[in-house]
Structure 1
């Protein structure tokens, strides 16, 4: 997947890409194993997922190879996730109903999905931008499911959000591992010295 991407790019972005994938994988696996989540687990768990995903995206977008103009949708994505995290904590502390939780999560995934598709438009100038296509489609699709499915309880909200996280974990994880392997191979076999992050 990363064969046409220059080593200076892969060496700098593989860490934040793998961190995003790891955060998504941990959250997705947690939603699979926790079959009867309480409101606190859903709200705080989702808040932690959005918080760490936003942090990983911030680390990604501030790297030098990322085009300046592409940082706008990526910043929007990170901001939406951070705001969603804060809102979900407020929802839990305020004792608000499950309906508000699903509205917050649906809005966060829908807006971030749109931002990911916007970031995808830079794929010709920055090849890693192509990774945002499926993640963006998944975010919009899951947002739509959350909006149109009736009688959503915490179990369903958690499961649907976890499905999105697992899709992102696999997609982004494959790319991140590819970037890491390319960089590692060049360092070991060719004596490549990666730039500072």
Structure 2
């Protein structure tokens, strides 16, 4: 979450994809609260959808012009890990294996985000968010491995709990960037989703 005022150009470019990731995490996280007895199909398809949309939001974020070129490599790895995990989940039917695959995807993504934070937190203010989201990803993976024998409801609860934390962190951060963007927040440079940022890159 931004502790100092973010440069306007950066805030304008990133506030939308940050809030989109918050929305994705919130929808998945809060939906797990109301699912009383989800079966294996709902577990794997729900988690796969969460990973896919999280990866898509990350792709949109990292392609924005102010994001340092070197930072895009670890963030691309995070998105790729989530996407690959989602694909593998579609072919599974055992809850323990599902827990392992989801844990692997979340752990790889979390570590990649922590790398992005460690390398770029000083030069790029939004990179500081990756400390929190990376830790949550790794922590969720550890929880899945420790409680891998839980039923689908329990496994979704672990992932959903992590998603809610990410949603809160990203929402606070996104609205902070929106505030820092000021009157420029809705300018063409803020782009859209998907496909935003084209105006930025053309300048």
Matched with 2:94 is 97
TM-score, normalised by the number of residues in structure 2: 0.88
Q: Is the 8 A contact 1:2 1:179 kept in 2?
A: no
Q: After superposition, what is the alpha-carbon deviation per residue over 1:4-54, rounded to whole angstroms, capped at 9, x for unaligned?
A: 211111111111111100000000011011021111111111111100100
Q: Is the 8 A contact 1:2 1:178 kept in 2?
A: no
Within-5 A mapping of 1:153-192: 153-183=151-181, 185-187=182-184
Matched with 2:133 is 135
Q: Structure 1 stretches of 5 or more lacking a match?
A: none
1:168 Cα deviation (Å)?
Answer: 0.3
1:187 Cα deviation (Å)?
Answer: 3.6
2:110 to 99, 108, 113: 113
Matched with 2:73 is 72
1:130 Cα deviation (Å)?
Answer: 0.3
CA distance in 2, matches of 1:187, 1:73: 29
CA distance in 2, matches of 1:2, 1:8: 17
Residue 70 of structure 2 aligns to a residue whose secondary structure is coil
When the two chains are superposed, the root-mean-square deviation of aligned CA atoms in Å is 1.7
| CA shift in 2, pair 1:106/1:141, >3 Å | same
Residue 112 of structure 1 aligns to a residue whose secondary structure is helix
Residue 91 of structure 2 aligns to a residue whose secondary structure is helix
TM-score, normalised by the number of residues in structure 1: 0.91
| CA shift in 2, pair 1:16/1:176, >3 Å | same
CA distance in 2, matches of 1:48, 1:145: 20
1:194 Cα deviation (Å)?
Answer: 5.8
CA distance in 1, matches of 2:28, 2:187: 34
Moved over 6 A (4+): none
1:181 Cα deviation (Å)?
Answer: 2.3
CA distance in 1, matches of 2:35, 2:55: 23
Q: Is the 8 A contact 2:25 2:50 kept in 1?
A: yes
Q: Is the 8 A contact 2:44 2:98 kept in 1?
A: yes
1:193 Cα deviation (Å)?
Answer: 5.2
Q: Structure 2 stretches of 5 or more lacking a match?
A: 192-196, 198-203
Matched with 1:54 is 55
1:149 to 130, 144, 147: 147
